[in-house]
């Protein structure tokens, strides 16, 4: 098995990225002013209790962010999460309870729900793909097709849904694509095998005080390119938009000649097609749809007591 890409977990970089998103969200909602509606209608000393409920079944993701929102916005709130990220949740299930300043609850409601609806949605959509390939050897990967600024959070949500993270950015792997091949030579395209050799000569070495990544992956568009690059020994070969027959042929050739190299299928990966792609014998399937096409899950915030 090839060396795996970095997998997103709850850590300091994840928290730091999200706190920056919250600062931007606060600027969007308040524009350095105040929540005029809440301040005009709700007494400063009013205490509120509410619950966050899911309106439809799905996979929990993003609950870990709630304490960060409260802290970053300096809210006078107490929060209790009732499920953990990655848990399955039923329609109508309460996933969190919040108590404290009613003004703070109202002013942070949209930021809380936008975060959870988005992340629950990505996790739930990912889970649907994962279920489709259950029982095969294939693993499901995300891509860099994420909303600007949200990459760590989007990829964390994919992990909550049972998916696996592909490279986080340009810094943590060599991924040679067709546009690299078109420009990497002296005025003309170079074959994938030569590009892999060049990348491998850099892998793990030092450049300007920085250590280069170790994983070398290359994208090919045809069986001819695949057969050219196989002897070069990349860690992963990405089979872009291959037909099912070509995927099967590539797997058979790999199994015979270089079984240590992993094969990744990408392109036209949908819920309706992923099972048959997995059944060709590829090791990995990557899809940008996990993060760019996921529908937000419906969650709501409701008061739990009468204010009269």
Question: CA 238, 239, 245: angle at the middle one, nearest 5?
Answer: 155
- How far is residue 226's CA from residue 206's CA, in Å, rounded to a whole number? 29
Summarize the annotated binding site as residue ranges. 110, 143-145, 167, 177, 219, 240, 266-268, 287-289
Summarize the annotated binding site for substrate as residue ranges. 110, 143-145, 167, 177, 219, 240, 266-268, 287-289
Catalytic (active-site) positions: 110, 145, 177, 219, 240
What is the Cα 174 distance to its own chain's centre? Answer: 19
Tokens of 292: 């760019």
How far is CA 206 from each of CA 199, 210, 212, 215, rounded to the nearest angstrom? 13, 5, 6, 15
Angle of the 12-30 helix axis to the 151-160 helix axis, nearest 10: 120
What is the Cα 179 distance to its own chain's centre? Answer: 24
The dihedral sign for the CA sequence 255, 257, 259, 264: negative
Q: What is the DSSP letter of 55?
A: S
In this structure, the strands spanning 77-81 and 139-141 are unpaired
- How far is residue 140's CA from residue 166's CA, in Å, rounded to a whole number? 9
In this structure, the strands spanning 262-266 and 236-240 are parallel
C-beta separation of 228 from 192 below 8 A: yes
Which residues, 6+ apart, have CB-to-CB distance to 52 below 8 Å?
A: 94, 95, 96, 97, 98, 112, 113, 116, 299, 300, 301
């Amino acid at each position: 098995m090839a060396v795996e890409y970095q997998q997103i977990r709850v850590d300091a970089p994840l928290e730091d990225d999200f706190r920056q998103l919250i600062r931007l969200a606060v600027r969007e909602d308040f524009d350095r002013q105040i929540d005029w509606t809440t301040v005009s209608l709700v007494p400063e000393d009013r205490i509120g209790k509410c619950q966050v409920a899911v309106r439809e079944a799905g996979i929990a993701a993003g609950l870990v962010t709630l304490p960060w929102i409260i802290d970053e916005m300096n809210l006078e709130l107490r929060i209790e999460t009732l499920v953990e990220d990655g848990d399955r949740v039923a329609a109508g299930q309460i996933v969190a309870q919040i108590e404290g300043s009613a003004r703070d609850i109202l002013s942070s409601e949209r930021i809380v729900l936008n975060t959870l609806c988005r992340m629950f949605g990505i996790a739930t959509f990912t889970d649907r793909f994962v279920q489709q390939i259950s029982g095969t050897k294939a693993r499901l990967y995300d891509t860099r097709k994420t909303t600007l600024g949200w990459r760590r959070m989007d990829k964390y949500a994919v992990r909550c849904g049972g998916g696996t993270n592909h490279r986080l950015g340009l810094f943590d792997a060599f991924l040679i694509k067709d546009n690299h091949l078109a420009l990497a030579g002296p005025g003309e395209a170079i074959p994938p095998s030569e590009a892999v050799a060049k990348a491998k000569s850099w892998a793990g070495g030092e450049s300007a005080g920085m250590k280069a990544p170790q994983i070398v992956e290359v994208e090919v568009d045809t069986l001819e390119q695949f057969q050219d690059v196989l002897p070069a020994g990349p860690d992963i070969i990405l089979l872009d938009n291959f037909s099912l027959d070509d995927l099967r042929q590539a797997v058979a050739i790999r199994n015979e000649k270089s079984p240590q190299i992993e094969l990744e299928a990408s392109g036209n990966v949908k819920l309706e097609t992923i099972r048959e792609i997995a059944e060709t014998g590829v090791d990995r399937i990557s899809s940008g749809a996990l993060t760019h096409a996921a529908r937000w899950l419906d969650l709501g915030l409701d008061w739990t007591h009468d204010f009269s």
